[in-house]
Amino acid sequence: MDIDTSIGQLFFLGFRGAFPVDDSAIVTDIATRNLGGVVLFDTFVSGRPQDSNIVDPDQLQKLSTFLQSMADTPLFIAVDQEGGKVRRLKEHHGFRSLPSARELGEKDPQESFYQASLTAGQLAACGINCNFAPVADIDLTPSNPIIGALGRSFSSNVDVVTAHCEAWLDGLHSGGVLGCLKHFPGHGSSTADSHTGFVDISSSWQQRELEPYSRLFATGKVSALMLGHLFNTRLDRHHPASLSEKVIDGLLRQQMHFDGLVITDDLQMRAITDHYGLDEAVVLALGAGADQIILGNNLAYEADILTRMITAVRNGLDSGRLTETRLRETLERIARIKGEVL
């Protein structure tokens, strides 16, 4: 495996538009820079309504087919389709409604399996093979602006969260879609939103927020999880989870024995960019053991961002801050998971 030509596999990238042309930046990134995955949005904070990637099921299927046709290595095509207030495929685009996690948490887990399997069928029909769901956060702070207040958690009860997350993973898998637990090590107790700034959970975080993950890892059904940009001095006194070797390599890999994909939340969120800068954050995340990095191009847009990030990774290798051994392990893990699910 040639690391130099495989660096693009380390990234998920957002892009604008529903019908990219052959010479667009995203097509060039896929065809010549070996991009690992794309993430689709129906709304861009920094853009216009016409920048949406999602118009209707027919358009989305054509878009996915076109993007895959440009890729030498199968492409992750991902979306956030949790249900409730966080879903990119909405009814006015011609997609079915999907209850929130909170609504499903009040029912039998079989209902979560049913909803997830229907969701998987719809995603797969549109060429989407990765869903950044379900949310494994425990609802410990109901006023939490990004989890509790949006109904994104199944429950404040660990057993309920675990059962519904397992049902969701089973339902997505039944339709050939990769599920991704989030937001490790637990966003449910926070009182702030990492999209808009620094989130310190040192005083609010509880050890039991790890329990859904440890129980689900034991089932062998978790192939991917997403790291939150969550600062917790009890886990790492210097870095948030998404950039922390103590959290990723230490807690996740060595203590919890997780060998699936570790994906960062969008590194363009202000919790990261306000404190590190993107180039530095990418090197820190990969050096800490993250496998893939999301650059949503949503909060801020940079058409040629992948070129800059590839340079940052190469500079990290040249300086010794990143090692070929680490990146080779990461690339082999990405190839293994893609081989299992794509």
The model's pLDDT over 249-301, given as tens digits with 9 standing for 90+, comes to: 999 999 999 999 999 999 999 889 888 999 999 999 999 999 999 999 999 89
Q: If we measure between CA atoms, which residue out of 250, 341, 235, 329 comes closest to residue 288? A: 250
93 in active site: no
E strand segments, 48-143: 76-79, 81-83, 86-87, 130-131
- pLDDT, mean of residues 115-133: 98
Domain map (residue ranges) of the chain: 3-341
Written as one letter, the residue type at 335 is A
Q: Which of 139, 265, 266, 291 is catalytic?
A: 265
Instruction: Give one DSSP letter per residue of 243-273, joined into a string.
Output: G-HIIIIIIIIIIS---SEEEEPPTTSHHHH
User: Quick check: 114 pLDDT over 90?
Assistant: yes
pLDDT (tens digit per residue) in 212-254: 999 999 999 999 999 999 999 999 999 999 999 999 999 999 9
Q: What is the CATH number of domain 3-341?
A: 3.20.20.300
Helix or strand holding residue 227 (H, E): strand 224-227
Catalytic residue among 195, 236, 266, 291: 195
- Each residue of 178-194: b (16+ CB within 10 Å) or e? bbbbbbbbbbbbbebbb
- Give backbone dihedrals phi and psi of 29, rounded to 5 degrees, phi first: -60, -40
DSSP 8-state assignment for residue 27: H
Q: Which three-class secondary structure state does DSSP give residue 83?
A: strand
Mode of pairing for the β-strands spanning 11-13 and 293-295: parallel
195 is an active site residue: yes
Q: What is the pLDDT of residue 193?
A: 63
Q: What is the CA radius of gyration of the chain?
A: 18
